[in-house]
Amino acid sequence: MRDFRDAKTMAKALRQALASRDISLTHSETLEIVARQFGFDQWNILASKLDETKGGEPSIAIEPPIPIFRIFDVAKAMEFYCGFLGFTLDWEHRFGENFPLYCQVSRSGMIMHLSEHSGDASPGAKAFVWMKGVRAFQAELSVKDYRYMKPGVEAAPWGAEMTVIDPFSNKIAFCERT
């Protein structure tokens, strides 16, 4: 279904099909039936969902945020994010030789930006990440025996949570819903 016209056409076709069997419903009643067929309690809810899309594409589409963490030492950052956490370095950028690094690391769909630029972020930031397999991830990390971080999994009211802290005091809380 693309827009209101499709839903209203369905309601009109339903009304005509029922009328041919001597069942009389108002256009409003058939709109309500169409809404329920799509799993909505009422026409106004379906109409608002249809209004959010234009030509099958959402008119507003917000993607997951990309946290930017401030780093001060590229080697330590790569050791932590790529070596310990298992992220991949996707790309890096410098405005010139001997300029600060700005790069992207990722793992399993999670994207992060790391920056040496003083204005990009403050050290000590925190990102909260929903995930599946937090206990397996913790086991993977513990085998690496990283000298500066031995994270555990804690039970929180919202799920099983493992927090890691990078060498620059930035935190990532990985949480699995329970």
Residue 59 DSSP one-character state: S
Is the confidence at residue 172, as pLDDT, over 90? yes
Helix (H) or strand (E) holding 58: strand 57-58
The helix-helix angle for 27-37 and 4-19 (nearest 10°) equals 120
Kindly state whether residue 63 falls inside one of the protein's structural domains: no
Return d(Cα 178, Cα 175) in angstroms, integer.
9
**Cα 150 → chain centroid:** 27
Is the confidence at residue 34, as pLDDT, over 80? yes
Claim to verify: residue 78 and residue 54 sit in the same structural domain: no
Kindly state whether residue 117 falls inside one of the protein's structural domains: yes
pLDDT confidence band for 136 (50 / 70 / 90): very high
Kindly state whether residue 10 falls inside one of the protein's structural domains: yes
CATH code for the domain of 106: 3.10.180.10
Q: Which pLDDT belongs to residue 31?
A: 84
DSSP string, 109-168: TEEEEEE--TTT--TT-EEEEE-S-HHHHHHHHHHHT-TT-----EEETTEEEEEEE-TT
Claim to verify: residue 40 and residue 88 sit in the same structural domain: no
Claim to verify: residue 106 and residue 172 sit in the same structural domain: yes
CB 132 within 8 A of CB 108: no
**133 lies in which domain range?**
68-176
Claim to verify: residue 73 and residue 160 sit in the same structural domain: yes
State how many domains the chain has. Answer: 2
CA angle, residues 168, 173, 177, in degrees to nearest 5:
175
- pTM recorded for the entire structure: 0.68
Give residue-wise pLDDT tens across range 38-51.
888 888 888 777 76
